[in-house]
A and B are shown apart, each in its own frame.
Chain A
Amino acid sequence: MKKMIFLYTPLLSCSLLCFKLEAQELFIRGYIKDHLHQPIPLASVTVKQSYDGATSDSTGFFSFVTKRNSPFWITVGALGYHTDSLLYDPNEAMDTIQMHLRERYTTLNTVSISAGSFVSGVSGKGIALSSIEVATIAGAAADIYGALRTLPGAGVAFGETGLSVRGGSPGETKMFIDGMLVKNPFNAQTPDIAARGRFSVFQFKNIAFSTGGYSAQYGQALSSALSQETQDLPEKTYTRITALTVGTELEQFIRHKNTGLVIFGNYYNLSASNRYLNPQQISWTRDPQQGTFGFQYMQKVSTNDLFKIYVDHSIAKMGIQNYFNTRTNSLEDISLDNRNTYINSTYTGRLSHKWKWQTGLSFQDKKDVIDFAIDDAGRKDQLLQARVLATYLLGDVSTIRFGSEFFYSDQSETLNDSSRNYQDHLMATFLEADVYLNRSLVFRTGLRVEQSQYLKQQNLAPRLMLTYKTGPVSQFAFSYGQYFQHPDDDYLLRQRLNFQKSENFTINYEYMADGYTFRSELYYKNYSHLIKDYGAYLTNGGDGFARGLDIFWRDKKTIKDLEYRISYSFLDTQRDFQDFPHHATPTFASKHTFNLLYRQYFKKTNTQLFSTYTFASGRTYYNPNSAAFLSDRSPHYHNFSLGANYFTNLMRQFTVLFLNVDNILGIRQIFGYRFDQQQRYTISPPARRSILIGAVLSIGDRTFRQN
């Protein structure tokens, strides 16, 4: 008999367990709320390891029936919240359950650190400027810099190359690609003609542009940082050909498992365009020509590790007749030859869920040969950069970032028989933390230390930003930062100097609801240690200030497929630098700048139309005949540009035809004047009206299929 009891007991317990006989029927109900006692609808309440459960309604209420005898776990989960659990004991009758869920920080529901920055790309938050948006800004002709100049805080280019931000000279804005500094982001530069950026907007997946301070990861820019991330591996293998009235571009994208390769080449020659399409206001002895050849190789070394290397080489030539040589104060013919090599390689990896790291190595070499009528000048600019960065995730979204970079630069300049050069080792270390105190308040604090062997100086730059989310779609931010920059190479070749410095204060208010964006920012910049040029010697005795207000409004929603943008900037700035006799408003600053942009997509005809109107109040120019220095102002600047894209297919391949007309009304634009002994010369854009026509053909690429 004993044996049988041993046999029966397990069988009996098994069958009982399998049937859960005589379990109590429990009616469970309650409310799911957040920590502010607001109901959470559509939360899922589940009895662990069972089918029993319910979904909460709009008041957070739920109820369901389950059959249990002993204590069991109930788990509650909802979108955007941490899952929570409760141990329910059937023997202690609980009336109604009240569960409070903790919010989970995600990029969607949390305050964003974007005070003063415009971030593009699908993954970027803030004012999104995608590649398409940049490419379709009338007048900019798909030039990144042309497009960024339509943002508040960035000034109109009156013939300067670069981005003048909030009263800063164009040289105060630096470009970074994948974290690495790009010393020469422009094609061959001649004064009075704004050069195009060297890179195509479509090479980047993210473009972040700050007008009011930037991360401690970057340095050497007094005003602003333009940070771009290159595209990742191409999704498939295909070819893209672009034909323009100014030249042609060819790109071959290759994808093979975990490696990608993009081979590209372009050649531009403006002679036909200058002769037949856009009559020039300046005379070219050699119409501008430029060619670039390069490639980018990418490899996904593992799921989390990515290696990229970008290499390009370009050659540019141009010649201008009667160019105003500021050295001799006379008109001469000038001829320019430029060669540029750029190599940028980065390796990003993820050690664990919390640790990410990145290393980068870049090399740049630029050579200019400039022939004046009598003089011959040459310039060599080399830069080698090595960088290491580590990021640690604290909690859900807070992060700590630290790293180090090293720059080696070699500059030399020749003028006829004399030459001079300098080399510099610059070492920088930075530490920065983004700490989210709760979902509404985040502060970023950072410190950057730089040491230059040539300048024999070091600097310490603290940076702080505080952002507070005032409502579901609005936030306030305050930021303060110190920024240091080497004096221009021209100055450093003559004399060893100290870092230039700027301190930026900004207060920012942003409202970003679905389709509507409003941003306003008040700022004050204090400049010190700017370079003063006394002819025989230089000092760091210059200083200045810039203050103003930027307002931005964008509406993508009111009318379907139509987007418009209005931006206004007010700038009051004065500085004493270069050869200024006293403080004055510099020539690159406009007091009032206004931009109105329009873009509309017409589905039925597959056309996209866009236009830009820009106004900038007259800027100062140097008039030797004037009693007061920089007291004259050029006429106000108006520009109305128009563009159109037409989407179609040629031989079953996706094609875009586009047209871009800058200054369609042919308004006479005067940037300023130059004076020699006898007369006054007007500085104007190269063409009164600029027309660009092109076609882009994608072969083997069906990426435009969409629902």
Chain B
Amino acid sequence: MKKVFILSFALIAFAIAGVKAQTNQYFAAMQKEINALEQMESQEEFLTAANIFERIGEAETKEWYPLYYAAYAKLLGGIMTRDKQRQDELYDQALLLLNKADQRSPRNSEIYALKGYVKFMMIAVDPMNRYQDGAAADKELATAELLNPENPRVFLIKGQNIFYTPKAYGGGREEATPMLLKAEKLFQADLKVDSLAPNWGKQRILFLLNQQ
């Protein structure tokens, strides 16, 4: 009987290890790609990363991180390209991914914040004709702030938008500074929920604050 127990125990342990190996695979793949994002610069690199994240997102139907990062990579890919039509395509896709992510993780501050960022970038494609979409973008960030008032990215995105808005429309460096300083403080205090949680933006804040 003892042999039976040891054997069953070994098999169960084996099975559990198997399952754990799969989740380890998830964490490892995600971590690797998230770290790689920091170094990327070209549109092709960002879109390849987006594909990888999307693949993981299709396989892991409960996780929202892959879809979030896929959208983030598409956003960055869009920012890196000059072709306006491509930008529109990528931003549209990013929004679709974020809507799917929202279904997997509702009332998530990071998702709303990124949605707001994408919407601001959509306006930047053709500001003279799309300025009216600003209110919708503002709303996303307001929701993001409500869901997590300590989210540094909310203030980074809001501050960045004000920074690039001409002074006549109520924007500019001085107007943006308080918002950016708040973001910086929150970045320093930011305790990551888990190793995959978004923590981008620190460099961006410093870049904006040091602009003359």
A→B interface (CB under 8 Å):
4, 7-8, 11-12, 14-15, 17-19, 41-42, 44, 46, 48-53, 55, 79-80, 108, 122, 128, 130, 132, 235-236, 514, 601, 603, 606, 647-649, 652, 654, 702-707
Question: Are A705 and B134 neighbours in the complex by a CB distance under 8 Å?
Answer: yes
Contact status A132-B166, CB under 8 Å: no
Most buried by A among B14, B51, B54, B121: B51
Interface membership of chain B positions 79-90, coded 1 if the CB is closer than 8 angstroms to chain A and 0 otherwise: 000011100110
- Going nearest first, the 6 A-B pairs with the smallest beta carbon separation are A18-B18, A235-B135, A44-B51, A707-B124, A704-B169, A606-B168
Do A132 and B129 have beta carbons less than 8 Å apart? Answer: yes
Question: Closest CB of chain B to A101's CB: distance in Å?
Answer: 15
Q: In the complex, A52→B51 CA distance in Å? A: 11
User: Chain B's nearest CB lies how many Å from the CB of A128?
Assistant: 8
List the B residue with the shortest CB-CB distance to A128. Answer: B129
Q: Does B41 count as interface, using CB distance less than 8 angstroms?
A: no
CB pair B170 A49 closer than 8 Å: no
Contact: A705 with B121, CB < 8 Å? Answer: no
Cα–Cα, bound, A1→B169 (Å): 83
**Cβ-defined contact, B8 with A15, below 8 A:** no
Q: Which residues of chain A have C-beta atoms less than 8 A from B139's C-beta? A: 235
Bound-state CA distance A50–B52 (Å) is: 11
Known: A55-B51, A706-B123, A706-B169. A49 touches B58 (CB 8 A): yes
A703 touches B18 (CB 8 A): no
| Contact with A706, one of B21, B25, B84, B127 (Cβ below 8 angstroms) | B127
Q: Are B7 and A606 in contact (CB under 8 A)?
A: no
Chain A residue contacts of B135, Cβ below 8 A = 235-236, 702-703
**A19 vs B11: C-alpha distance in the bound complex, in angstroms?**
12
**Which of the segments B99-107, B156-164, B181-189, B204-212 contacts the partner chain?**
B156-164
Which residue of A122, A647, A702 has the most chain B CB atoms within 10 A of its CB atom? Answer: A702
Enumerate chain A residues within 8 angstroms of B84, measured Cβ to Cβ. Answer: 514
Which residue from chain B places its CB closest to the CB of A47 in the assembled complex?
B55
Residue B62 lies at the interface, judged by CB distance under 8 Å to chain A: no
Docked CA distance A46–B60 (Å): 13
- Residue pair B85, A51 in contact (C-beta under 8 Å): no
Residue interface mask B3-20, A partner, CB < 8 A = 1 = 010011001101101110
Q: Which of B52-87 contact A (CB under 8 A)?
A: 52, 54-56, 58-59, 83-85
A93 to B85 alpha-carbon distance, docked (Å): 40
Find out whether the CB atom of A15 lies under 8 angstroms from the CB atom of B11.
yes
Q: Which of A12, A41, A704 is in CB contact (< 8 Å) with B11?
A: A12
How far apart sit A11 and B14, CA to CA, in the bound complex (Å)? 9
B136 interface contact, C-beta 8 A = yes
10 additional A-B residue pairs with CB within 8 Å, beyond A42-B48, A601-B128, A705-B170: A11-B11, A12-B11, A18-B14, A18-B17, A49-B58, A50-B55, A51-B59, A53-B51, A654-B169, A707-B121
CB of B93 closer than 8 Å to a CB of A: yes
Chain A contact residues, majority secondary structure: loop
* Residue on A nearest B86 in the bound complex, by CB: A79
Q: Is B47 an interface residue (CB 8 A)?
A: yes
User: CB < 8 Å: which of B121, B124, B131 contacts A704?
Assistant: B131
Residues of B within 8 A of A (CB): 4, 7-8, 11-12, 14-15, 17-19, 21-22, 25, 29, 44, 47-48, 51-52, 54-56, 58-59, 83-85, 88-89, 93, 120-121, 123-124, 126-132, 134-136, 138-139, 160-162, 164-166, 168-171
Residues on A with beta carbons closer than 8 Å to the beta carbon of B56: 51
* Cβ contact within 8 Å between A18 and B131: no
Contacting pair B15 A11 (CB below 8 A) = yes
CB <8 Å contact, A707 and B123: yes
Which of B7, B22, B136, B161 contacts A705, CB < 8 Å?
B161
Nearest-neighbor residue (CB-CB) of B11 within chain A: A11
Complex CA gap A558/B22 in Å reads: 55
Contact A707 B44 (CB under 8 A): no
Cβ contact within 8 Å between B8 and A11: yes
Report yes or no: B8 in contact with A8, Cβ–Cβ below 8 A.
yes
A-B contact pairs, 21 of them (CB 8 A): A8-B8, A11-B15, A18-B15, A18-B19, A51-B52, A53-B55, A55-B48, A55-B52, A80-B89, A122-B129, A128-B129, A236-B135, A606-B168, A647-B169, A648-B168, A652-B170, A705-B161, A705-B165, A706-B124, A707-B124, A707-B165
Partner of B55, one of A19, A44, A128, A130: A44
Shortest A543–chain B CB gap in Å is 43
Across the interface, B128 reaches (CB within 8 A) one of A41, A49, A132, namely A132
List residues of chain B with CB within 8 A of the CB of A652: 170
Question: Closest Cβ of chain B: how far from A63's Cβ, in Å?
Answer: 13
Residues of B within 8 A of A44 (CB): 51, 54-55
CB distance from A290 to the nearest CB of B (A): 28
Identify the closest chain A residue to B25 (Cβ).
Answer: A51
Complex Cα–Cα for A80 and B11 (A): 48
Cα distance A623–B174 when bound, in Å?
68
By beta carbon, the residue of chain A nearest B85 is A108
Q: Once the chains bind, are B134 and A8 in contact (CB under 8 Å)? A: no
A228 to B: closest C-beta gap in Å: 17
Complex: A654 Cα to B107 Cα, angstroms: 33
Decide: A702 and B134 in contact? CB cutoff 8 A.
Answer: yes
Partner of B44, one of A18, A42, A49, A50: A42
- A256 to chain B minimum Cβ distance, whole angstroms, is 14
Closest to A707 in B: B124
Is A8 in contact with B11, judged by CB distance below 8 angstroms? yes
- Kindly identify which residue among A15, A46, A648 contacts B15, using a CB–CB cutoff of 8 Å: A15
Which residues of B are found within 8 Å of A122, using beta-carbon distances? 126, 129-130
- Asked whether A702 and B8 contact (CB < 8 A) given A18-B18, A79-B93, A132-B129, the answer is no
Are the C-beta atoms of B18 and A19 separated by less than 8 Å?
A: yes
- A603 vs B27: C-alpha distance when bound (angstroms): 47
CB pair B93–A606 under 8 Å, yes or no, is no
Are A705 and B169 interface neighbours, CB within 8 A? yes
Residues of the B chain whose Cβ atoms lie less than 8 Å from the Cβ of A46 = 51, 55, 58
Query: Could you say which residues of chain B place their CB within 8 Å of the CB of A53?
Result: 51-52, 55
B78 to chain A, nearest CB (A): 12
For A4, give its contact among B4, B131, B161, B164 (CB under 8 Å): B4
Determine the distance from Cα of A50 to Cα of B61 in the docked complex, in whole angstroms. Answer: 11
Q: Across the two chains, which residue of chain B brings its CB closest to A4?
A: B4
How many whole Å from A538's CB to the nearest CB in chain B?
A: 48
Q: How far is the CB of A489 from chain B (nearest CB, A)?
A: 39
Q: CA of A44 to CA of B14 in the docked complex: distance in angstroms?
A: 34
Closest B residue to A46 by beta carbon equals: B55
Q: How many Å lie between the Cα of A705 and that of B168 in the bound state?
A: 10
Output the residue of A132, A235, A606, A705 with the most chain B CB within 10 A. Answer: A705
Q: Which of A50, A130, A707 neighbours the largest number of chain B CB atoms within 10 Å of its CB?
A: A707
Residues of B within 8 A of A41 (CB): 44
Residues in chain A near residue B4, CB distance under 8 A:
4, 7
Q: Name the distance in Å between A607's Cβ and chain B's nearest Cβ.
A: 10
Q: Is the CB of B171 within 8 A of A649?
A: no
| Cβ of B194 to closest chain A Cβ, rounded Å | 19
| B58 touching A706, Cβ below 8 Å | no
* Min C-beta distance of B187 to chain A, whole Å: 21
